[in-house]
């Protein structure tokens, strides 16, 4: 008894220490920082050790090809003024609920709530999902919830309550002007809880052209931050968004709550545990149709003018 008491006290104390501490990314963990890194997120929320967690490494050879109906983006072209914040873990832009998505085998329409990003350090690798082991410098998540729900927390109680569109970024030689409003806002949100407004953006300008959004991976997973709720239909687009090195690096000037630079804000990939990943390649079908028309025309003695 006398031997056990201090041990018990120590155990209870250390569990309390961990669960009481805020969660953090691996990059925030230092000798004198007791925050809860990805390995101990299950202590913060038991969902984080579930069997359908995100992100994942997508093995393209194992993705099942399917022809899903095209995704429809409604209200994506509308320009809006959005609140942008440093959440302490990411940069988040609030979105108007008038932006909705439907089709793409989602079942019901989903309305936009917010978008946020995950990145590396100084334009190095930082995406959450990987494709055949390849990690990209940054990944954007546009978070949508079923129209019937009033909040993200409400939607998280439904296994298919949330639909996240994920986009990878790739370093380009020239700046992507469409991202300047967000990049410029970063200097005003250096510290967690800082808020500013991004003026004159639309989801259309922040995503690839719609004709390039036909190829995507689909699987069932979770939030990639605590509470890690397994309530997300993931749509991971194959087409990337270009951003210059300078633009990518700008994200590293903002800070975590402990004053460290906000870098490597990505969770390690999680086990698939038998889940099926689907691949919908609308573009392939389109190319085939063009080839078919071309060959029909060619065989009937006509030619196609393909320039311009």
Among 194, 210, 227, 239, binds ligand NAG (CB under 6 A): 194
Residues 132-191 that bind ligand NAG (CB under 6 A): 188, 191
Contact 113/96 with Cβ under 8 angstroms? Answer: no
What is the number of the residue whose Cβ is closest to Zn ion? Answer: 141
User: What does the DSSP assignment read for 204-263?
Assistant: HHHS--GGG-SEEEEEEE--SSTT--S-EEEEEESS-EEEEHHHHHHGGGSB-TTSSB--
Among 129, 141, 146, 267, binds Zn ion (CB under 5 A): 141
Q: Which does 141 bind (CB under 5 to 8 A by kind): Zn ion, ligand NAG, none?
A: Zn ion
Among 19, 49, 193, 276, binds ligand NAG (CB under 6 A): 193
Q: Closest approach of Cβ 194 to ligand NAG, in Å?
A: 4
Contact 100/128 with Cβ under 8 angstroms? Answer: no
Among candidate residues 186, 166, 196, 200, the one with its CA nearest the CA of residue 246: 186
Q: Closest approach of Cβ 188 to ligand NAG, in Å?
A: 6
Residue 261 CB-density burial (10 A; 0-12 exposed, 13-18 middle, 19+ buried): middle
The 25-64 site mask, x for binding ligand NAG (CB under 6 A), equals: ----------------------------------------
Q: Which does 194 bind (CB under 5 to 8 A by kind): Zn ion, ligand NAG, none?
A: ligand NAG
Contact 138/120 with Cβ under 8 angstroms? Answer: yes
Which spans of this chain sit near ligand NAG (rule: CB under 6 A)?
188, 191, 193-194
């Amino acid at each position: 008894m006398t031997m056990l008491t201090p041990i018990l006290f120590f155990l209870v104390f250390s569990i309390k220490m961990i669960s009481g501490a805020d969660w953090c990314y691996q990059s925030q963990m230092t000798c004198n920082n007791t925050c809860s890194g990805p390995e101990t997120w299950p202590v913060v929320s038991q969902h984080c050790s579930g069997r359908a967690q995100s992100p994942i490494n997508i093995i393209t050879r194992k993705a099942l090809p399917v022809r899903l109906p095209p995704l429809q983006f409604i209200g994506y072209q509308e320009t809006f003024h959005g609140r942008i914040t440093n959440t302490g873990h990411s940069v988040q832009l609030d979105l108007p609920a008038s932006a909705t998505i439907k089709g793409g085998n989602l079942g019901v329409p989903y309305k936009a709530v917010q978008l946020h990003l995950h990145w590396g350090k100084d334009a190095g690798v930082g995406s959450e999902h990987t494709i055949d082991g390849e990690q990209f410098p940054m990944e954007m998540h546009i978070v949508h919830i079923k129209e019937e729900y009033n909040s993200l927390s409400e939607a998280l109680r439904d296994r298919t309550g949330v639909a996240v569109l994920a986009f990878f970024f790739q370093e380009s030689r020239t700046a992507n002007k469409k991202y300047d409003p967000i990049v410029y806002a970063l200097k005003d949100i250096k510290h967690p809880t800082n808020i500013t407004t991004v003026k004159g953006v639309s989801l259309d300008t922040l995503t690839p052209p719609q004709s390039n959004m036909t190829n995507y991976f689909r699987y069932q997973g979770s939030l990639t931050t605590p509470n890690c709720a397994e309530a997300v239909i993931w749509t991971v687009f194959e087409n990337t968004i270009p951003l210059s090195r300078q633009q990518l690096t700008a994200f590293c000037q903002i800070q975590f709550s402990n004053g460290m630079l906000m870098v490597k804000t990505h969770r390690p990939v999680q086990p698939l545990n038998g889940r099926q990943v689907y691949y919908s390649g609308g573009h392939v079908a389109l190319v085939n149709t063009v080839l078919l028309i071309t060959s029909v025309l060619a065989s009937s003695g006509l030619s196609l003018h393909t320039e311009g």
